[in-house]
Amino acid sequence: MNTKLLGIMALVGAPFLCINTYLHVQNHGGQLVYHTTPLSGFLGILYISGWLCSIIGLRRLGATGADNFGRIISPLILSTLTLANSWNVYEMVLPDHNTLLYRLLDAFWPISNLVMIGVGIAVVRAGRLTGWKRFVPLACGCQ
């Protein structure tokens, strides 16, 4: 799969977080509550899969650089995203299943965002992408 196709898949997957939020976050007495359903798990899989495609594309471009930090951060973000996607599968099969594994896997959603900040820093430092493109991964981690 070439990098353009990976980029297209990333762009196709990106809106599913917004769609999922629109469908599954509800206001209960002034408090926003996320309701898990099999559909929310499926939409999460589409979103994280697109994110994975973007990271694979960045790796193929060598965007994170060849230093130690750049070489470590790529497999780290791929691992955290895979674990976050495992939670999506769990959510699809057993929504709102209150087990330790369910909660641990759920934690990889925000952990992935934190690690994405590291990916963004690695891309900026490496300087392999030029212009505004260099800062896009950093902005994605700060969502």
At 94 the three-state DSSP class reads: coil
Burial pattern 28-61, b for ≥16 Cβ within 10 A else e, equals eeeeeeeebeeebbbbbbbbbbbbbbbbbbbbeb
pLDDT (tens digit, 9 = 90+) per residue, 58-91?
999 999 999 999 999 999 999 999 999 999 999 9
pTM, to two decimals: 0.91
Residue type at 73?
I
pLDDT value at residue 39: 96
What is the sign, positive or negative, of the torsion defined by CA atoms of 111, 113, 114, 120?
positive
Bridge partner list, 139: none
pLDDT in tens, the chain (143 residues): 899 999 999 999 999 999 999 999 999 899 999 999 999 999 999 999 999 999 999 999 999 999 999 999 999 999 999 999 999 999 999 988 889 999 999 999 999 999 999 999 999 999 999 999 999 998 887 66
Strands in 25-132 per DSSP E: 25-28, 31-34
Concatenated DSSP letters for 104-137?
HHHTHHHHHHHHHHHHHHHHHHH--S-GGGGGHH
pLDDT value at residue 22: 95
Residue type at 108?
F
pLDDT value at residue 1: 81
